[in-house]
Amino acid sequence: MDLYLGIDYGTSGARGVVIDEQGKIQTEVRYSGQKLEAPHWKSTLWSLLAEIPEPLRREIRAIAINGTSSTVLLCDGAGEPVAAPLLYNDGRGAVVLEQLKKVAPPNHTVLSATSSLAKLLWMSQQSFFSEARYFLHQADWLAFLLHGQLGISDYHNALKLGYDVEALEYPEWLEKLEIPIQLPKVLAPGTPIREIRPDIASQFGLPKDCLVCAGTTDSIAAFIASGAESPGEAVTSLGSTLVLKLLSHTRIEDARYGIYSHRFGDLWLTGGASNTGGAVLREFFTNAELESLSQEIDPAKVSNLDYYPLLKAGDRFPINDPNLPPRLTPRPAAPREFLHGLLESMARIEARGYELLQNLGANQVTRVYTAGGGATNSTWNAIRQRHLKVPVVASENTEAAYGTALLAKAKASNHKDAKKFT
């Protein structure tokens, strides 16, 4: 049997999924417990591998890893981190933004305090920088632990480092920063890098010729897992926030709305994120209440309550207004009616989001897959379908680790899917 392992380092833990040639899951392993922090990345990786039943480990042909986007670190010539990694949401890069604005094109995705490039520039001004030889993303470093070659990344992770994913090279303006560091060589996600280190192979009983592949980011891995694959297919994530992703022939970039595109094979994966979403529902209802009250709502009936549900003022997509006030009134006495208004209003915001992407040139939406905590709510899905006017379906799988396993399979097996995804 030929098996493929995808490993996901997300915001709340690490998971591994082993699939077969048909994409069927053979086993799932997870690391839960204390919060996932840098010193634990390495030991977590070994724990995950050890948890996979031995007979399956012997059949693993390829491994790929996804990390959280913009979680980055510096390491020395031997691959040892020279300082604690900066996690995805670390905003210390804010102090270098003015400097970055002088070289990066206006509205570029790197012009954010949490971008990989802002983090690198900030790190380059710290005392520990003198010991650093390589700058890597979380997924790059973890893959290095398996294959042993430093300085390799993929163009999903490298987007927020400023890598030009259209020309497939680092842009000239980046050189003007004159940061004395080895930037990673960038490969297409899923590309086999090299065989696993012999000592790791024998320690874990993996095949000597098991390939370690270039990785991706956690949100793109979740997109791959959904089953969406054609232009016009989209994935909405109904988690704490509302995140839209749409496969398109056209690349869309509009920093005003926080919209940017990842390269995805011959296509572009474009999207935006609104601050509305499940976090607002959680403010008013428990999950049990959401479930029972939703069952009492007739989704065919339109609620005329017109809210803009936010926890605090400000949204970027689909309305770009840092002062946009939350709108949650009038509030009816019946909780069911209030919830109906919230679900209906979020569905309007979602539809407006896809409309904005289309108005900016993205493909017409044909089908919307759904992931996240709200995806199980069939009432909400029916309301959303009424607004979106296209089929709304559940994602085939919502685990990033599963998407990353598909990525490893597509490239390493030279599968018919090899041209997809990346």
Please compute, for residue 253, the number of CA atoms within 13 A of its CA located in the half-sphere on the CB side.
13
Structural contact between residues 328 and 307, judged by C-beta atoms closer than 8 angstroms: yes
Give per-residue burial for 182-211: e unless 16+ CB within 10 Å, then b: ebbebbbbbbbbebbbeebbeebebbeebb
CB of residue 113 to ligand ADP, shortest distance in Å: 21
Q: Which is nearer to ligand ADP, 154 or 344 (CB)?
A: 344
* 43 vs 378, beta carbon nearer ligand ADP: 378
Nearer to ligand ADP, 359 or 378 (CB): 378
Shortest spacing between CB 68 and ligand ADP, in angstroms: 12
* Nearer to ligand ADP (CB atom), residue 26 or residue 381: 381
β strands within 127-278, DSSP E: 134-137, 152-154, 185-187, 192-195, 211-213, 216-217, 233-238, 242-248, 260-264, 267-274
Structure tokens at 231: 């232009």
Rounded Cα distance between 248 and 355, Å, is 13
User: What 3-state class would DSSP assign to 222?
Assistant: helix
To the nearest whole angstrom, how small is the minimum distance from the Cβ of residue 291 to ligand ADP? 5
What is the C-alpha separation between 157 and 277, in angstroms, rounded? 26
Whole-number minimum distance, CB 385 to ligand ADP, in Å? Answer: 15
Q: How far is the CB of 281 from ligand ADP (least distance, A)?
A: 4
Measured from the CB atom, the residue of 61 and 245 that comes closer to ligand ADP is 245
Q: Return the SS3 of 366.
A: coil
Distances (CA, A) of 408 to 53, 192, 405: 19, 8, 5
**CB 394 → ligand ADP: shortest distance, Å?**
13
Residue 108 neighbours by CB under 8 Å, 6+ apart: 162, 255
Q: The tokens of 53 are what?
A: 């039943």
Q: Nearest distance from residue 371's CB to ligand ADP, in Å?
A: 7
- Is 227 or 374 the residue whose CB approaches ligand ADP more closely? 374
HSE value, Cβ hemisphere, 13 Å, CA-based, for 300: 0
Which parts of this chain interact with ligand ADP (CB under 6 A)?
239-240, 278-279, 281-282, 287, 290-291, 294, 372-374, 376-377, 380
Closer Cβ to ligand ADP, 44 or 398, answer by number:
398
Please report, in angstroms and rounded to a whole number, the separation of the first and last CA atoms in the chain.
25
Q: Which is nearer to ligand ADP, 230 or 292 (CB)?
A: 292
DSSP one-letter code for 361: T
Report the nearest approach of ligand ADP to the CB of residue 278 (Å): 3
CB of 18 to ligand ADP, least distance (A): 23
Q: What secondary structure letter does DSSP report for 375? A: G
Residue 345 tokens read as: 């209003």
User: By C-alpha distance, which of 230, 232, 229, 213 is closest to 404?
Assistant: 213
Measured between alpha carbons, how far is 159 from 371 in angstroms, rounded to an integer?
24
Are 97 and 117 within 8 A, CB to CB?
A: no
Q: Which is nearer to ligand ADP, 347 or 356 (CB)?
A: 347
Residue 50 C-beta: closest distance to ligand ADP, Å: 27
Residue 2 or residue 283: which is nearer to ligand ADP going by CB?
283
- Angstrom distance (rounded) from CA 40 to CA 36: 7
If the CB atoms of residues 123 and 297 are measured against ligand ADP, the closer one turns out to be 297
Instruction: Judge contact between 64 and 190, C-beta under 8 A.
Output: yes
Cα 187 from Cα 412, distance rounded (Å): 14
In the bound complex, what is the minimum distance in angstroms from residue 399's beta carbon to ligand ADP? 12
